[in-house]
Amino acid sequence: MMRRTVSFSKNATNIFLHVLTRCNLRCTHCYINPAQHGDGTLAPDTIERWLAALFHPKRPANLILLGGEPTLHPQLDRVVKLARDRGVASVTIDTNGYLFNNILQKVDTKAVDFFSFSLDGTTAERNDAIRGPGSFAACTAGIRAAADKGFGVSLIYTVSTRNIDELALMPALLKQLPVQRFFIQVIGLRGRSAAAKGPGPSSAALQVHEKKWKETVSSTAARIAADGIAVTFPKVYLDDDEPFECAAVASHNYFIFPNGRVYRCPLCEDFPLHSLAFRDDRLVPTDPVNEWDLVQLEIPEGCVMNRLIQPGNIRYRSDGRPAHRIACCLLKETFIP
Ligand code: SF4
Ligand code: SF4
């Protein structure tokens, strides 16, 4: 098994495109914020023009199609086709597993590299308490259906205090599911998590303590990788000898919403801090002060937006200095079997 820290790719454009914000579920930690990003659905022709604006002749582009639930988009297959015709290097569809509009029948394995599913527990009882009734059954059925059709399958598990103990049970569940890649995410205090709506703990109480994170995540990742599944998880806490780097400054990631907002940093998505926007289908910079002004600041805590938005995961020494620096949320570690 190989373990390595994966810096964000600087030679690729990564396009995280929210084709709509609508969803059939109401997950308690949902990061979608309709007050900021509206309830629109992007037309394929608009998407085609926006992709053209983001393409760079010397960089491959990876497209991640998101929602809401992106398979609720009635023309998602057309979006995939136009993206492939334009020459994107890879297409991933993130889904809660319901796979609406017969999407598995309308796209093929040459056009979609991965369907990426989300589960937050190993049983219907534990998962559905977070993601809603029926979601465990729908997700596991969707995983099997996608694999049966020959698609690559990923699974994402979002860790919070509500389910970190459950993570240790995932290796056993993954033995029963046809999953090639497993992603552990850390909960971001955005959308419903930030507002702490719905049942469960308040927003700060959802954040996992450093000790618990370090005790649990990499050892579980190693067990899963030993069973032949590649595992990726965020670095979160930088070691003393590791350099800090901000992906918004150093790479080419675009988080795009149907109302035309384009963020470089996903932690900013709850605020009108986007540094770019589509206006009349042209990508234009927004006025200061925006995320671009903030991410250039150098602070001893590492990530500026973490310090501003979710400071609960920073510890300080008695002399006031931070006990650790927080890595960019896009810096990952990976275990390759
Ligand atoms: S987290 Fe995803 S699946 Fe859950 S409500 Fe939000 S958009 Fe839907
Ligand atoms: S999470 Fe922090 S380090 Fe990463 S892009 Fe945002 S501001 Fe930069």
With beta carbons less than 8 A apart as the criterion, state whether 252 and 14 touch.
yes
- Within a domain: residue 248? no
CATH, residue 78: 3.20.20.70
**Residues 9, 333: Cα–Cα separation, whole Å:** 13
Least confident of 47-56, 207-216, 239-248, 278-287: 207-216
- Within a domain: residue 259? no
User: In the prediction, which pLDDT does 244 show?
Assistant: 95
Q: Which residue stretches of the chain are H helix? A: 34-37, 44-54, 76-86, 103-106, 124-131, 135-148, 164-167, 170-174, 191-195, 210-226, 247-250, 291-295, 304-309
Backbone angles phi, psi at 8, to 5 degrees: -65, 145
Q: What residue owns the CA closest to ligand 2's atom 6?
A: 265
- Token pair, residue 68, equals 């809401």
- Residue-wise pLDDT for 175-194, tens only, equals 999 999 999 998 765 656 56
- Within a domain: residue 279? no
* Residue where the block lists tokens 């937050």: 120
Considering 3-17, 71-85, 208-222, the range whose residues carry the highest mean pLDDT is 71-85
pLDDT at 39 over 60: yes
Q: Answer positive or negative: Cα dihedral of 238, 192, 292, 290.
A: negative
Q: Which of 304, 308, 314 to mutate to test the pocket of ligand 2 (most atoms within 8 A of CB)?
A: 304
Mean pLDDT of 210-215: 88
DSSP letter (8 states) at residue 128: H
With beta carbons less than 8 A apart as the criterion, state whether 313 and 213 touch.
no
Q: Answer positive or negative: Cα dihedral of 128, 132, 134, 139.
A: negative
- Within a domain: residue 185? yes
Ligand that comes closest to the CA of residue 246: 2
Q: What residue owns the CA closest to ligand 1's atom 4?
A: 27
User: In the prediction, which pLDDT does 125 show?
Assistant: 97
- Token pair, residue 51, equals 């992709």
pLDDT at 31 over 90: no
- Within a domain: residue 252? no
Q: What residue owns the CA closest to ligand 2's atom 2?
A: 303
- Within a domain: residue 155? yes
pLDDT at 259 over 60: yes
Q: Tell me how many domains the chain contains.
A: 1
Residue type at 135 in one-letter notation: S
Lining residues, ligand 2, CB within 6 Å: 246-248, 265, 267, 295, 303-306, 328-330
Q: Is the CB of 70 under 6 A from ligand 1?
A: no
| Domain region containing 186 | 2-242+328-336
pLDDT at 10 over 60: yes
Backbone angles phi, psi at 336, to 5 degrees: -110, 125
- Within a domain: residue 322? no
Q: Which of 187, 189, 246 to mutate to test the pocket of ligand 2 (most atoms within 8 A of CB)?
A: 246
